[in-house]
Amino acid sequence: MRCAGVFFIVLLLAAWISPASRSDHVRWVEESLRSMQSIQPGMTRADLNKLFVAEGGIGSRTERVYVYRKCPYFKVRVEFEAPTSGAAQEQPADTIASISKPYLEWPVND
């Protein structure tokens, strides 16, 4: 009985959301993906920080997971070129060596 109630509520919500609003969501995701994919190897951590913010959890100067500023469910794993000398802390001028394709995952809270 409970499953039938949940199913009925989902059907009502699906009918309530207009096709125009669904296409708005699709358009937003498409624009967000294009924006996220504009970050490429060779760019700096400062460039990355315009669209992403470091996620909580374990990370280092050379590898970290970042979340999209507009939606924390979108993530990328970024590797930076290892510093040859200087501070062991993250620097805005650190260069991106590789960046994963955007993926979906629950946010990490710590």
Report which of residues 45 and 109 the model is more confident about: 45
Domain ranges of the chain: 41-110
Report which of residues 61 and 11 the model is more confident about: 61
Label each residue of 22-65 as H, E or C.
HHHHHHHHHHHHHHHCCCCCCCEHHHHCCCEEECCCCCCCCEEE
pTM of the full structure: 0.76
End-to-end CA, the chain: 38
Backbone dihedral angles phi then psi of residue 64, each to the nearest 5 degrees: -160, 155
In tens, the pLDDT along 34-92 reads 999 999 999 999 999 999 999 988 888 899 999 999 999 999 999 999 766 666 788 89
